[in-house]
Amino acid sequence: MPSGSARSKRAPVSFFAGAGAAVATARVFSLVCTAVQLPLLTKLLSPSEYSLVALAIAISTYFTLVTAEPVTLAFQRFPGDRSDRGNYRYALTRSTLALILVGGATVGVALLFGQWREALAVVGWGIGLAVVRLVSTAWLMWADPWRYAANLMVSTGVRTAGLVGLVIAGVDPWLAIALAGLASAIATLVISPRVSGVARIGKPPWTWQFGVHLAMASLAVTLLTSIGLVTLPAFVTKTEVGRFAAMTQLATLTCGAVLGLVSTVAYPTLRKWWDEGQAELTSRRLIWLSELCLAAALVSIAAFSAGDYWLATAVVGPQYADGPLLPALLLSSALATMGQLSGWFHQFQFHAARVSRRTWASAAVGIVATVAGSGWFGITGTAVGGMFGFLVYYLVLRWRTKLGTGIAVAAVTIASACAAVALFPRSDLSAVVCIASAVSGLVVAAHLTWGLREDKR
């Protein structure tokens, strides 16, 4: 087996190019669908109604994490062989059972309090997310990215068309969310892999516990991501909550979507390299990807801050636009991905419990900062508090990984600038923000290019 050094000399610049086209196709399709969905829903629903829809979708993520994510994450790390799909069969069986039992219990309890429609929305949308996640993971881990792309495109298309179509038809938003999620799950199962093999989930026998630790870490990140939407109604009006939700969604659909594509494509390749003994090469690529996250955030900030944030206003409308929030929200997306990449370093070494502990510790700090910021500064404080939480998440996860001290310093510096823009918004400074972000992005991009050229030598 070649050494890490020899392998790195032959590593292509686009080291995940094999699956990149397929995953990019799926992600672009998902982005287009959501880009259509966001303006339509913000026009069809009032800000207060839209804030409730966004909150229901956010809460459904918790339902998915509790029911299906542990076994899905264990399967992702130990997908088994494509010819013997025992691990997939086990994961599908366990996930389905958990979704039915927990979903039924959730709706049943909600009936006692007269909240069955809200519970049905959370459960229906959550089932759709869980099924799509497991099936897409199977295709990607088995090195069949085009089936992954087909699965994601079908599920996203059905979910988007169902939600928008039902809202246009006048269906109650809660029921529309539930039906759209269930339709997505059904469409995904129709084109899912056929199960076979002995029902198990990998070796060694502690794999299930491994998945639980990773699911707990995902739960902490999800809580940090959505805590603003959950707590904001206690401090501000529903209209302001709707503005914050729209800006968060816009950041997720732009910078977050790009970085989601990168991490989705990179994980199978990096996991394979690590398991093949290429730890040095894997670490260098993790550093490279972290720098790419910063570059993506800076480019996004430059694009949105141009012309006094006119692009945000054009996408969501003036009643939802709040441009100065975007730098902090865009950087939050980048820092979240950077923390995830640092977590992979521990995960590849089977230190899942370490990932869970560090994630929960940093999430606790971020949650306190977000809630305090919401109480003191409203939606501005929520954005800054969330960004601070994700900065801590990244710094804590990269501790003792040797994944680039310079990147950490740059992240702290950029976060400080984004906080200043949010807390002291001035429209006449948007051009300064645009130019500074563009220049910084070019510097990071140049450093990335130079590093890859040196790596090839």
- Condensed to tens digits (0 to 9), the pLDDT of residues 253-291 reads 888 878 887 887 788 888 888 888 888 888 988 998 999
Nearest to 125 by CA among 183, 52, 46, 66: 183
End-to-end CA distance of the chain: 20
Q: Is the pLDDT of residue 294 over 90?
A: yes
* Mean pLDDT in residue range 426-430: 71
Provide the H-helix boundaries in 68-190.
69-77, 86-112, 116-141, 145-168, 173-190
The residue with greater pLDDT, 76 or 379, is 379
Confidence of residue 1 (pLDDT cuts 50, 70, 90): very low
The burial class, CB within 10 Å (0-12 / 13-18 / 19+), for 290 is buried
- Report which of residues 239 and 368 the model is more confident about: 368
Angstrom distance (rounded) from CA 46 to CA 264: 34
pLDDT single digits (tens) 67-100: 888 888 888 877 777 777 888 888 888 888 989 9
- Give the C-alpha separation, 419 to 99, whole Å: 40
| Amino acid 433: pLDDT | 87
| Structure confidence at residue 183 (pLDDT) | 94
Closest CA to 105 of 122, 125, 128: 122
81 vs 399, more confident = 399
Coil, strand, or helix at residue 87? Answer: helix
pLDDT attached to residue 365: 96
d(CA 109, CA 99): 15
Distant-in-sequence, close-in-space partners of 371: CB < 8 Å, separation ≥ 6: 227, 231, 385
Mean pLDDT (whole number) for 210-232? 87
Contact 148, 23 (CB under 8 A): yes
The residue type found at 191 is I
Q: How far apart are CA 373 and CA 381, in angstroms?
A: 4
Residues in the chain: 457
Q: Which residues contact 196 (CB under 8 A, 6 or more apart)?
A: 84, 85, 86, 89
pLDDT of 50 higher than 90 = no
**What radius of gyration, in Å, describes the C-alpha atoms of the chain?**
21
- The pTM for the full model equals 0.76
Share of the chain above pLDDT 90, in %: 30
Contact 234, 312 (CB under 8 A): no
* Sign of the dihedral through C-alpha 247, 249, 250, 255: positive
Asked whether the CA dihedral 199, 201, 204, 205 is positive or negative, the reply is negative
Question: What average pLDDT does the segment 37-53 reach?
Answer: 73
Reading the block at residue 106, the tokens are 């959730």
Tokens coding 368: 């306190």
